[in-house]
A and B are shown apart, each in its own frame.
Chain A
Amino acid sequence: MSIGKRTLLLPFLLALVGAFASAQTNPSPTPHATQVYSLGDQMVYIDGGLFIPLFFMDEGGNHYPTNLSLGGDASIGWNAFLSNNFSLGAELGGTFSFSPNNRSLIMIPLTGKVTYWLRFYPFEFPIYLGAGINFMKLSNYLYFGPILKPGFGAYYDITSKWSAGIDLVYWWVPEIYFGPNPPASQSRFGNFLQISAAVGFHF
């Protein structure tokens, strides 16, 4: 091998050795860590959006129009993670919508919530069921009763602390009477749909 070829080859070899050595002392960056929750992690969130009255149903399964306008809703909630995919929580919400004579129907539910989290980083898809009590007011009329709120959401993890997304929640609101006043025949099951945007903080 002539001196010229050795001269050309040597830097290359040195570079190669150097690269190898560098690789040994400076490993390639690890992939970004997937969000993982465990027992003790918590989350608080707020959401707000559209409240859509769907229909009323009586005990015989007959449907009736609500005569209500589109309304709005807002809520705050809290989740406590029991594992990476399962949380328990609570939520306090409120909605409003209007009757043909501009009477406002206000509902304030307080629910417990069980959530299963599907994760496809950076997206999270909670599937949940809320159940609790609902306070309902229309003019001077009041009603306390149970409520069920199944729903699901789609969230994006902005950072390890913050996430944002949308929720789609179905409200099932029984209004049960046993008579004589109001009569049992006026029992109804209210059906509503909530579409809202949400922001969550994890800690």
Chain B
Amino acid sequence: MTRFLINTLARLRQARGGTLGSIALGVFALLCSALATSCNVNGVGIFYGLENEKKIVTTGTLSNKLTIGSMVHVAGYYYAATGTIYSSPDEDGGGIGASLSWTPLTPPVSGAICTQLVSLDPRSSTNQTVYAIFVTDSAPTVASISGTAQVYEGTASGGSISWTAISAFSNMYAQNLIVENGSLFVDVSTIVNTDTVSTALQYSVYYWNGTTATQLSLGGQTNFVSPIISGAYDYGYSGGQYWLATGSPILQGSTWYQLFTSTNPAGGSFSTGPALPVPSGLDGGQLQVSRLYYSPASSAGKNVYGRAFSGLGALFISTRNGYVYAWLDGGSWLGPASITGPNGQLVGLTGVVDTGTYLGTSDALIVGSDIGYYEMDVTPPLTSSSSFSFISPNGTNDLTTDLNYTAASLYNLSILNFLLDPNPTNTTDVRIFAGTVGGAATVINGGGGLWRLEPQSNGTWPGTWSQD
């Protein structure tokens, strides 16, 4: 083939010479280059994506402009916090594509905005206790901090929530709520004077046992420069451990720590946990945790919303600069896996969810990011020899999550959180909700708001995304 091309080029040049010969030569070279080169900077084949594209349908009544900050599933209802809390019957028995009807709920204080909503026991299908932060002021000031970001305890029933303020936090500006294993942790911020003229926010974390708020020390420290960003209860490690992560690493000696563990939060202290392995070229101080998520293995026998769950048996830690770590139940690290965006940049990671074996014999761990989500498919449980890498959904795996991910604006949205509804009422209709950042600009591209992933109409996976 090469000899043919060379000889043909020589004949063209010799036979025609002049302008026409040069032009013909150029055309021939163009053809040859076309045969030799092709490239795609994407994760999904264009034609493949088109042949599998399904029209995005709207299955609910929420605006696509909304930012879904958090979402819970309590006693037959979904509750989504978008500033206003909306509720809808879950329609778990309504079949694939069942339409959700969302109703706004009245806040406990007129004009208050809900910044976070959590369920006391997200694994329970009957638990009705929820917690929320309602803000009545945009930011704390030195002069007025009381009542501006109040923690409320609520009882969710029939699509509505009755609220009671937790007085122990009345004089604190609540920043973040973490619920793990039936325990509530509240991260609060206070104003401190850094010098005679400057002030700064300082963060601390409390354990709430239902009657008393106990301030916690993490690694011997009680005040932090960044919020306590996330937590988890690791059932499988050392008999069960609570984990908390600071938003910014803490330097102790020569080691940076982001993770802290305890078996008894009521005792008031967390010890330093294992330090994150530092990727080559980075410093430990550059690893800022964004989310903790524990996926119990089947031996732990933990349910999700009343349905048996068989997961990976590891605590997953995501960072803001695109790394995902796994702390295995046996007490060792796996990873990190780095996640790069479509332009090769590291992406900030957000929510995490494990689909367990609901979608098939394999398991899909899904990690949200500033730009869409990424997926790791592995046969559970996770071991030290497991493949630990993430890909952008491309529909080739037997349970990979998408048929129209690339068609939906979801692939380009900032995803804040996921909610898995394994649907014990109709076990075929497993649902995964993605809460995204909304706004007018996103509507141009199909919208933000709440997205729902369900199986195809015949009950098989990969599934299709729709907008609620």
Contacts and interface: CB of A to CB of B under 8 A. Distances in A.
Interface of A: 39-40, 56, 64-68, 80, 82, 88-90, 99-101, 103, 105, 110-113, 131-134, 136, 138-147, 174-177, 181-183, 185-188, 190
Closest 3 CB pairs of A and B: A112-B27, A186-B45, A145-B38
Given A105-B50, A186-B44, A181 B27 contact: no
B38 A182 contact: no
Interface string B111-152: 000000000000000000000000000000000000000000
B54 A100 contact: yes
Interface residues of B, number: 40
Nearest to B35: A146
A80 B26 CA distance: 13
Nearest to A185: B396
Nearest to B392: A181
Nearest to A187: B45
B394 A186 contact: yes
Given A101-B55, A182-B394, A90 B412 contact: no
A147 B33 CA distance: 11
Contact of A182 (B35, B44, B446): B44
Given A139-B406, A144-B39, A183-B394, A133 B48 contact: no
B45 A136 contact: no
A186 B46 CA distance: 9
Given A142-B40, A186-B45, A82 B34 contact: no
Interface in B36-58: 37-51, 53-56
6 contacts: A88-B27, A90-B23, A132-B34, A133-B37, A177-B40, A181-B392
B337 interface: no
A64 B394 contact: no
B441 interface: no
B165 interface: no
A67 B43 contact: no
Contacts of B446: 101
A101 B58 CA distance: 12
Contacts of B392: 181
A182 B45 contact: yes
B304 interface: no
B347 interface: no
A70 to B, nearest CB: 14
B47 A175 contact: yes
A144 B39 CA distance: 5
B412 to A, nearest CB: 7
A181 B54 CA distance: 22
A152 B398 CA distance: 44
Contacts of A176: 38
B42 A182 contact: yes
Nearest to A146: B34
Nearest to B56: A101
B34 A143 contact: no
